[in-house]
Structure 1
Amino acid sequence: MHTLVAGTFMATLSVCSLANAAVDIKLAHNGNTNPDDPQNVGVDAFKKMVEERSDGEINVQIYPAGQLGDARAIVEGVQLGMIEMGDVENGPMGGFVPEAMLWDLPFIFRDIDHAHNVLDGEIGSMVQEKYLDAGIRHLAYNDGGFRYFTNDERPIRSMEDLEGLKIRVMESEVMVDTLNAFGASAVPMSFGELYTALQQGVVDGQENPMNLINSQRFYEVQDYLSLSGHFYYPRQYIAGEAWWSTLDAEHQEIISKAALEASAIQREALADYQVEMRKALEGHGMEINEVEKDAFIEAALEKIYPSYYEVLGSGDPERGEELISNIMATE
């Protein structure tokens, strides 16, 4: 009898200990280390909320600046359980979740409010669910902002100005196709190689949000910044589904809520930061110009969107076209 009671007590104690065991999270991104950058504002807020709300049961270690690899390597690490979480840009995500290519389509969003309404609505939720098929839990969307062209040859005011320029893009099929349709020569390349490629003339230009243009000091090797806003640049907080399933429900809830709240904090920080970045880039001597967008938008509608209807519709081109139409019709 005593042996049975003792055994039951020890088993109960063991279960309780496992339930309250410390959880260590490696959270990786390939952005910069500037604490004022909105991406770091977001992940730092996530770390603080998770550790405080779990009473120290969850520990978050942030690995910035590509310490655990570029965006694709981070996603693969999350899939394999080598990295618990990532804050990753959308560029490589279409290789894992075809529907994620929706967000890479040029000029798919009119402005930042339109982007948020879509991402936070039914279509955004549908794409999030598709991540589970790739062994990834998508927790929240945050902002990278809209992307703009820079180069060291001439201002880009129209599509004709892009002709003949070698422009680096992320490793995204949609982005490569888009730049080629716009008349440039698209060169997919990892972010870590970009500065040297610009410096050595391997590429003439690139496209990124203003905060990254500034933080990576591209103004040292690029003269012109053209406000094209051709791509929107979402990031996402992701977690490995296999790892996620080992967490108890309380810890899952803490992490899920913190990811959503950190995303909101990051979005707000970026809105303010973009204003500062334009002033900073002008101060560094970059020539900034507006862009005539009508021809770009027409090329996107006629040459890019139809070629992705089938893949975005999971084999059904009519569904893909409907998805795009619903995005564009969202207020």
Structure 2
Amino acid sequence: MMEAKVPTTPTKRTMLGWCAVLVTLVLLVSGCGTNFGTTDDGKQKYRWKMTVTTGSTSTWYLAAERFAKSLEEETNGRITLKVFGNERLSAGEATAGVEQLMDGAKDFSYNSPIIYSAVDPRFGAVTAPFIFDTVEEGQEALAGPGGDVYADYLSEHGVHLLGFGESGMRQLTNSHHPIHTPDDLHGLKFRIPGFGLYTDLYRALGSNPTTMPFGEVFTALQQGAIDGQENPIDVIHSANLQEVQPYLTLWNYSYDPLVFGVNEKLFESLDAEDQELVSRLAEDTNEFQIKENRDREKELIAELEDSGMEVNRLTDSEKKEFREELKPLYAEYREVWGKDMSEAFIPEGL
């Protein structure tokens, strides 16, 4: 399957790649998860780093800051954690950021499974289109065998799973007209996450998908280089996309949890007490983030409407039309996702 190419010049692609490499090298040299001696009672001190893809007003960032504050308070400053928004440790490149976590160049991250899918496409099963009607259904699937499968696969890549937050259902914005049917997407150029499922999905719906770092999306929309994009409401709002996108389609087409990951070697190097502390505070962080995200979503949609955005809510029959259009895609991707992921997340009959 061919993925859409990033619409940047060779020079810009080269610069982005070298920036990510240089930042990673600096982090490796400086030593993430570095210990800073011991306390008087012999406990190891740590200075950790965590990244999120979004900016400081997002629930991702707020939850990460809560985690950092709790770590410092509960250890009387023995453990500190610095949070970096907008994937600053990988020059804005989310996939490079996940690879840093896997390699041990940073310590913790909140990332969408979509980003992990760029490394291993099996992770994309949970975000497949129109398999969940509500966020509660998605959360329930992850609380069962699907979460165990995820943990096993993450461990294969050097990441220990600390549970799941939630970005919510992914929605669609564009600059041309309301979207109600697959025909409404024909010919529009959408920025999508850079992995095969979404490329094939949007092509199947007749649009022209393209990929680019999220940090470039606002300018590309503003300049008309692309017609639209898709993301959860929290991301759309925190990026101020209402300033450059007049149409919002609420179609709940893809459930997007957040993987709270820690580098596995770092986690395994901790003593039992610190492992329990990290796991407990991570669970609290995820619960906080999910509640904040769900509580804020209606408010954020109202704010987007008040700003002049036209909000269109798809009916169940309209969603069914999209699902029917995409049926061949499910059959094709079951082999990509593998038996365990498919059985955990993809309903029978799709």
What TM-score range do you get, normalising by the shorter chain? 0.7 to 0.9
- The residue identity in structure 2 corresponding to 1:138 is L
1:65 is aligned to 86
Q: Alpha carbons of 1:125 and 1:320: their partners in 2 closer, same or farther (altered >3 Å)?
A: closer
- What is the SS of the residue equivalent to 2:147? helix
Post-superposition offset of 1:15:
9.4
Decide which of 303, 312, 335 is 1:310's aligned counterpart.
335
Partner residue in 2 for 1:9: none
One of 237, 246, 256 as aligned partner of 1:233? 256
In the TM superposition, residue 66 of structure 1 has moved relative to its aligned partner by 2.2
**Aligned partner (choices 109, 133, 145) of residue 156 of structure 2:** 133
Q: Tell me if structure 1 keeps the 8 A contact 2:52–2:61.
A: no
Say if 1:85 and 1:181 are closer, same or farther in 2 by CA, change over 3 A. same
Alpha-carbon deviations, 1:95-131, whole Å to 9, x = none? 3343311122101212011011011211112111111
Cα deviations by residue, 1:58-116 (Å, 9 ceiling, x for unpaired): 11111112211232121111122211111112222113343311122101212011011
Contact 2:111 2:259 in 1 (8 A): yes
Distance 2:128 2:184 in 1: 21
Q: CA deviation digits over 1:163-203, x for unaligned, max 9?
A: 00011111122111111112211112211111111111111
Give, as a single letter, the amino acid of the residue that structure 2 aligns with 1:175.
Y
Paired letter, 1:240: N
Q: Distance in 2 between matches of 1:239 and 1:81?
A: 9
Matched with 1:206 is: 229
Q: Say if 1:211 and 1:321 are closer, same or farther in 2 by CA, change over 3 A.
A: closer
The letter for the 2-side match of 1:293 is K
CA distance in 1, matches of 2:84, 2:341: 36
Tell me the equivalent position of 2:34.
none
Does residue 298 of the first structure (1) align with residue 321 of the second (2)? no
**Structure 1 stretch displaced more, 266-275 or 46-55:** 46-55
How far apart, CA to CA, are the structure 1 residues paired with 2:238 and 2:121? Answer: 30
Q: How does 1:276-291 map to 2 (within 5 A)?
A: 276-291=299-314
Q: Contact 1:167–1:186 (CA<8 Å) still a contact in 2? A: yes
- The alpha-carbon distance between structure 1 residues 161 and 18, as it changes in their structure 2 partners (threshold 3 A), is farther
In structure 1, the partner of 2:6 is: none
Indicate whether 1:178 and 2:206 are aligned.
no
Taking the TM superposition and a 5 Å limit, the aligned residue runs for 1:25-174 are 25-34=48-57, 37-69=58-90, 70-174=93-197
Tell me whether 52-61 or 182-191 shows the greater mean CA deviation: 52-61
* Structure 1 residue 24, shift from structure 2 partner: 1.3
Give the letter for the 1:95 counterpart: A
Q: Paired residues, what number?
A: 308
**Is the partner of 1:202 in helix, strand or coil?**
coil
2:117 and 2:123 in contact (8 A); partners too: yes
Equivalent-residue separation in structure 2 for 1:118 and 1:138 (angstroms) = 16
Equivalent AA in structure 1 for residue 88 of structure 2: Q
Q: Which letter maps to 1:297? A: R
Q: Between the two proteins, what is the percent identity of the paired residues?
A: 30
Distance 1:224 1:16 in 2: 56
Q: Distance in 2 between matches of 1:114 and 1:152?
A: 31
State TM-score, norm by structure 2.
0.83
Aligned-partner residue type, residue 304 of structure 1: L
Structure 1: how far apart are the matches of 2:170 and 2:310? 16
Matched residue SS, 1:132: helix
Runs of 4+ with >6 A deviation = 14-18
Contact 1:148 1:208 in 2 (8 A): yes
Aligned mates of 1:321, 1:26 — CA distance in 2: 34
Q: Does the C-alpha gap of structure 1 residues 273 and 15 become closer, same or farther in structure 2, counting only changes over 3 Å?
A: closer
How far, CA to CA, are the matches of 1:17 and 1:71 in structure 2?
39
1:268 aligns with 2:269: no
TM-score normalised by structure 1 residue count: 0.87
Task: Please name the residue that 2:282 is paired with.
Answer: 259
The structural deviation recorded for 1:19 is 5.4
Larger Rg: 1
Question: Take 2:124 and 2:325, find their aligned partners in 1: how far apart are those partners?
Answer: 17
Deviations 1:225-253 (A, max 9, x none): 11111111111111111222221121111
Conserved in 1, the CA contact under 8 Å of 2:112 and 2:257?
yes
Gapped regions of structure 2 (runs ≥ 5): 1-36
1:324 Cα shift?
3.9
Q: Of 32, 39, 45, which aligns to 1:22?
A: 45
Q: Which secondary structure does the structure 1 equivalent of 2:226 belong to?
A: coil
